[in-house]
Chain A
Amino acid sequence: MTISTVNNGSGKYSTPSIFKRYKIRFTRFWHLYTDSPFGMIGMFLVLLFVTMGVFAPILAPYDPNKTMVGERSDNPSASHPLGTDRLGRDIFSQMIYGAQISLLIGLSAAFISLFIGTLFGLISGYYGGWIDIILMRITDFFIQLPALPLMLVVVSLFGGGMENLILIIGLLGWTGTARIVRSETLSIKQRAFVEASKSVGAGNRHIISSHILPNVFPLIFANAILGVVNSIIAEAGLSFLGFGVVGSWSWGRVLYEAGRENAILLGAWWHFIPPGISIMLLALGFSLISFSLNEVLNPRLRER
C-alpha cells in the first residue's frame, strides 16, 4: 500500500488525486451493485415512492384534508379510487401524500441516528480505553431497551409534531450504527497507513477525518439505509397509535383512521390494505438496497 499523504508545508495534509481514486472505486462499486437484482428492485421501489412524494400535489386528485359532505364513507369509485373516509376525505389522495411524510421522517431520522452512531462509534473505537468501555456499555443498554415503548414515553412527555417525531426516532436508533462503526474503526486503526500518518505527526482529528471515516463510510452507508427502514416503520407504529404528526397525512395515520373506523370488521379493505402495502414496499425497497450494498461492500462477504 502506498502512502499518499504528503505534508505540503502549511501543516495541512492533502491526498493527491483523491477524486480520481474515488471515481474508480465508485465505478467498480456501481458495476457490482447493478449486477444485483435485489439492489435494482429496491432502487426501483424507492424511486417510485420518491416520485409519488415529490409530485404528490400533481398526482393527488383532491386535497387530502378536504371533507366532502355528500360523500362520506364511500366505497371505491371512479372519482375516489380508494373511497372516502367517514369525514368524506379522499383516501387515495391521503395515500399519495403519505409518501412525503414517510420519506421525510424516515430519511431525516435515519440521518440523525447515523450522525450520533458514527460519532459514538468513532470515538469509542478510536480512543479505546475507558471511554470505549463507558460508551459501549451505554450502547449495549440502549440496544436492549425496547424502542417503541420508549418512543411512546418520550412523545407523551414532549408532545408530538414533526420535529419531535424525527428527533425521537433518530435519537433512539443509533445503536446499531455505533457498534458497526466502532468495530470497523478498530480494525482500520491497526492498518499501516494510519500508523504511518501518526508517525509523520498527523493529529487525531486529521486521522479520523481523512483515513478512518472514508474507510468506514461504505459500511456506515449500508447500515444507515437500514436505519431508514427502521425509522419508516417506527413512524408508522407511532402514527398508528395516534401519536403521529397532527395535520399531515402519513400512511400510519391513514391506518390509524382506518382502525378508528373499524375498517377491518366492515371489510373496507381499500382503507387499510393500500397504506400497509405502501409502507411495506417502501421499507422493502430500502431493505433491498441495504442488503445489496452490504453484499457489495462488506469485505467478508466479498471474499466468496
Chain B
Amino acid sequence: MSLKGYISRRAFDSGFLLILTVIFNFVLFRVMPGNPALAVLGRTGQVRPEFRQVLQERYGTNLPIFDQFIIYIQRLLEGDLGVSFYYYPTEVSELIFGHRLLNTILLMGISILLSFILAIIFGTIAASKFKSKTDLVSIFVTLTSYSTPVFWLGMLIIFYFFGQFHLIPLSGSPRIEDPKYADIFAWAIDYCYHLIGPVTTLTISFVGAWFLIARDQMLGIFLEDYITTARAKGLKERRVLFTHARKNAMLPMISVLAMAMTYLVSGATLTETVFSWDGLGLLTFDAVTYSDYPLLQGLFLLVAAVAIVSSFIADIIYAYLDPRIRY
C-alpha cells in the first residue's frame, strides 16, 4: 500500500471514530436514565428558572430526542459547547480554552517530555544490563513508583519539600493577571517555581509506567539478529544502543507518546487537586462535583478529539519511520 493510501484510510477511520464519539457524547449525557441534563435541576434543589430557559432554548430539551441531537450537532459545528451550569452564565468554551488549558498543557507537556526521555534512557540501560544488579534495582524502583498512588506521592512531596525543607511553594498556579507581578519575568519565575512540585510528582509517576515498556521493547530488540550483527561489526556500544536499537524501539514508544497526548488536555485530576493547580483536571473535578454536565461534555469531547487526532498522527509517523509499513 502506498503511504498516501495508508494515510487516507486512517483518516477515514479517524473521521468515523470522531462521529461515533460525538454521538456517544450526546447519548451519554442525554438519554441515560433520568436524563441528567434535567436531573441536575432537581438535584440542586432550587431550580433556577434561567436554567430551564437556557436548556429549552439551546438544547431544545422539550423537543423529541432526535431533534435535540440535530440541534446539538448544529451548535457544535458553530463551536458552541453550551453554557456551564455551575459557572453560569460563563460559556463552556470560555472555561476550557483559557488559562486552564495553558496551565494543563504546560504542566503535562513538561512532565511528559521529561518522563519520556528518562524512561527511554533508563529502559535502554537496564535492558543492556539484563538481569544485572542495575537492572533489578531499577525494576524494583519503577515498580514501586508504578504502585504508588500519584496523589499520595504529591502529598508526600508537599509534606517534605514544602513542610520540612521549604524548597517549594505549597500549591497554586500563578496567574499573569495577578497585580503582584511587576512584569512577565517575575510571573514566569514564580510560575516555574510552582511547577516544581507537580512536575516532579507526575514525572516519577510516568517514568514508573513507561520504564518497563521501554525496557521490554529494548530487550526484544536486543534479541534481534541485526543487533548481534551491529555488535559483531565492532561498533561502539553507544552506537549500537542509541542508533540501531533506539530507532526500532522508538516505534512502539510513539504509541505511548500518542496516548500521553490526551493527558495534555485531560490534565491530571489527582495531581492538580493536590497542588491546587488550576488546570483542566481540576476543572473536570469541579464539573463532576457540581454535576455540571455541559462542562463535562465539552471536556470529554476535547479529550476524545485529541485522542483520535493524536493516534492518527502517531500512525502516520509510524509509517514514516518504519519503511516496512509504507508498502
The 0/1 profile, CB within 8 Å of A marked 1, for residues 221-241 of chain B is: 001000000000000000000
Q: Is A241 an interface residue (CB 8 A)?
A: yes
Q: Is B204 an interface residue (CB 8 A)?
A: no
Known contacts A240-B270, A269-B159, A291-B139; A145/B149 CB under 8 A? no
- Report how far A183 CA is from B280 CA in the complex, Å: 36
Least Cβ distance of A246 to chain B in Å? 15
Chain B residue numbers with a CB within 8 Å of A286 are 147
Q: Which residues of B132-161 have CB atoms within 8 Å of chain A's CB atoms?
A: 136, 139-140, 143-144, 146-152, 155-156, 158-159
Chain A residue numbers with a CB within 8 Å of B197 are none
Q: Is B13 an interface residue (CB 8 A)?
A: yes
- Report how far A303 CA is from B224 CA in the complex, Å: 12
Known contacts A149-B284, A149-B299; A237/B270 CB under 8 A? yes
The 0/1 profile, CB within 8 Å of B marked 1, for residues 225-243 of chain A is: 0000100010011001111
Is there contact, CB below 8 Å, between A141 and B152? no
Pick from A156, A273, A300, A304: contact of B130, CB under 8 Å: A304
Least Cβ distance of B279 to chain A in Å? 12
Known contacts A38-B140, A284-B143, A291-B139; A240/B158 CB under 8 A? no
Q: Which residues of A271-304 have CB atoms within 8 Å of chain B's CB atoms?
A: 272-273, 276, 279-284, 286-288, 291, 300-301, 303-304
Which residue of A has the minimal Cβ distance to B222?
A: A304
Least Cβ distance of A263 to chain B in Å? 9
Q: Is A264 an interface residue (CB 8 A)?
A: yes
Of the listed stretches B95-103, B255-263, B316-324, name the one at the interface; the rest are far from the partner chain.
Answer: B255-263
Chain B residue numbers with a CB within 8 Å of A241 are 269-270, 273, 285
The secondary-structure label for the interface of chain A is helix
Which residue of B has the minimal Cβ distance to A243?
A: B288
Is there contact, CB below 8 Å, between A141 and B308? yes
Is there contact, CB below 8 Å, between B288 and A146? no
Known contacts A153-B296, A156-B288, A157-B32; A148/B311 CB under 8 A? no
Chain B residue numbers with a CB within 8 Å of A69 are none
Least Cβ distance of B84 to chain A in Å? 15
Q: Is B112 an interface residue (CB 8 A)?
A: no
Q: Is B5 an interface residue (CB 8 A)?
A: no
Q: Is A82 an interface residue (CB 8 A)?
A: no
Which residue of B has the minimal Cβ distance to A149?
A: B284
Chain B residue numbers with a CB within 8 Å of A265 are 163, 170
What residues of chain B have their CB less than 8 Å away from a CB belonging to chain A? 13, 17, 21, 28-29, 32, 36, 130, 136, 139-140, 143-144, 146-152, 155-156, 158-159, 163, 170, 212, 219-220, 223, 258-259, 262-263, 266, 269-270, 273, 281, 284-285, 288-289, 291, 296, 299-300, 303-304, 307-308, 310-311
21 pairs from A and B in contact (CB 8 Å cutoff): A141-B304, A144-B258, A144-B308, A146-B262, A146-B263, A148-B270, A152-B269, A153-B288, A156-B288, A156-B289, A237-B270, A241-B270, A241-B285, A267-B163, A272-B159, A276-B152, A280-B144, A280-B152, A288-B143, A291-B139, A303-B223
